[in-house]
């Protein structure tokens, strides 16, 4: 049997901002993500995690190496990706429903079909909102929602055009722990239902272990993948699981990797 080609293939990628004398954010970073896999990327602050996300989604070109998604070299912003960031960035003049439907006005083939099939698309957006507990808030504006609710809406916006790839950069970073845990469960449910390929950048190791099939640990800047850990726990995972010794041992193991990576940074800085 022929092994399926990874959905995301990053090979020997380097990225320097600001010309030859600028900041080397990534150096010789390689990783691959299988179709339908949920990968979390963790690492010391400033190690290049967000840079990696920008390269995969085609928002920036890499300085060296190759980024291939769905078998194609990434050389422009990817339309098959949905993205959500720490800041939900909802447009204040649009209702929540219209914010969620925004990608449909931009991404083909939805853009072409939106006028004729508006009712179908609207139903889809409403279903997503209901899935994350926002039924009844469709006609509200962002200022009428809490931070956690806005983040849920931004997750729906990232999913509305059926992206094959979901890119999440600290999407829950600004939220309190209760809201965050609530959203982990909802994201897990959404992923079990829609089965996108997901890359999640997070500082929260518990979040990484709860959500991911595999956690990748990056070195300090210039970033590359230092270690990876497969997460063996069956799904759906429960919040109670995060208190179990096996779960906590994995979190500690990842923390040790990151501490080692940070010590590497200090040693390098001292040279
Ligand atoms: N647009 C930019 N121009 C110049 N340098 C940049 C730019 N974006 C990021 N950098 C630098 O590249 C390095 C990696 O940044 P990046 O945001 O990718 O790290 P990160 O791991 O996501 O950080 P954090 O964990 O703190 O969010 C940092 O030193 C940062 O200062």
CA of 187 to the centre of ligand 1 (A): 26
**Quick check: 267 pLDDT over 60?**
no
Q: Which residues contact 86 (CB under 8 A, 6 or more apart)?
A: 169, 170, 171, 173, 174
CA of 269 to the centre of ligand 1 (A): 17
pLDDT at residue 269 in the model: 35
pLDDT at residue 167 in the model: 93
Protein residue with its CA nearest to atom 13 in ligand 1:
25
Let me know: does 78 contact 57? Beta carbons within 8 Å. Answer: yes
**Quick check: 102 pLDDT over 90?**
yes
Query: Out of 12-16, 142-146, 159-163, 231-235, which region has the weakest mean confidence (pLDDT)?
Result: 159-163
Phi, then psi, of 234 in degrees rounded to 5: -70, 160
CA atoms within 13 A on the CB side of 77: 7
**How far is residue 106's CA from residue 120's CA, in Å, rounded to a whole number?**
17
pLDDT at residue 83 in the model: 85
CA of 218 to the centre of ligand 1 (A): 13
pLDDT at residue 1 in the model: 63
pLDDT at residue 29 in the model: 94
**Quick check: 266 pLDDT over 80?**
no
Q: Does residue 49 have its Cβ closer than 6 Å to ligand 1?
A: yes
pLDDT at residue 68 in the model: 95
CA of 49 to the centre of ligand 1 (A): 8
ipTM above 0.95, yes or no: yes
Angle at Cα 54 formed by Cα 261 and Cα 267, nearest 5°?
20
Mean pLDDT of the chain: 89
Q: Which two tokens stand for residue 18?
A: 């600001």
Give the residues across from 130 on adjacent strands.
none
Let me know: does 202 contact 40? Beta carbons within 8 Å. Answer: yes
Q: Does residue 71 have its Cβ closer than 6 Å to ligand 1?
A: no
* pLDDT tens, position by position, 158-186: 889 888 899 999 988 877 888 889 889 98
Q: Does residue 23 have its Cβ closer than 6 Å to ligand 1?
A: yes
Question: Considering the chain, what percentage of its residues have pLDDT values greater than 70?
Answer: 97
pLDDT at residue 268 in the model: 40
pLDDT at residue 165 in the model: 93
Q: How far apart are the first and last CA of the chain?
A: 49
Q: Which two tokens stand for residue 139?
A: 């006609």
Candidate of 18, 24, 40, 48 to mutate for ligand 1, largest count of ligand atoms within 8 Å of Cβ: 48
Q: Which atom of ligand 1 is nearest to the CA of 203?
A: 25
CA of 79 to the centre of ligand 1 (A): 24
* pLDDT tens, position by position, 206-247: 999 999 999 999 988 889 998 999 999 999 999 999 999 999
């Amino acid at each position: 049997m022929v092994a399926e080609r990874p959905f995301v293939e990053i090979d020997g990628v380097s990225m320097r901002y600001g010309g030859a004398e600028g900041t080397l954010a990534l150096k010789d970073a390689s990783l691959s993500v299988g179709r339908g896999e949920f990968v979390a990327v963790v690492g010391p602050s400033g190690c290049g995690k967000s840079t990696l996300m920008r390269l995969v989604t085609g928002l920036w070109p890499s300085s060296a190496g190759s980024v291939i998604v769905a078998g194609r070299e990434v050389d422009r912003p990817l339309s098959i990706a949905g993205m959500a960031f720490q800041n939900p960035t909802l447009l204040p003049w649009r209702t929540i429903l219209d914010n969620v439907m925004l990608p449909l006005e931009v991404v083909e083939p939805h853009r072409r079909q939106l006028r004729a099939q508006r009712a179908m698309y609207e139903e889809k957006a409403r279903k997503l909102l209901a899935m994350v507990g926002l039924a009844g808030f469709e006609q509200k504006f962002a200022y009428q929602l809490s931070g956690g609710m806005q983040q849920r809406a931004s997750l729906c916006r990232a999913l509305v055009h059926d992206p094959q790839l979901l890119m999440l950069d600290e999407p829950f970073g600004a939220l309190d722990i209760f809201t965050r845990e609530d959203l982990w469960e909802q994201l897990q449910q959404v992923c079990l239902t829609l089965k996108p390929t997901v890359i999640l950048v997070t500082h929260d190791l518990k979040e990484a272990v709860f959500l991911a099939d595999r956690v990748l640990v990056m070195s300090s800047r210039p970033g590359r993948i230092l270690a990876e850990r497969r997460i063996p726990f069956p799904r759906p995972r429960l919040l109670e699981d995060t208190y179990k010794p096996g779960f906590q041992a994995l979190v500690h193991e990842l923390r040790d990797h990151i501490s080692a990576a940070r010590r590497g940074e200090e040693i390098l800085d001292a040279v």
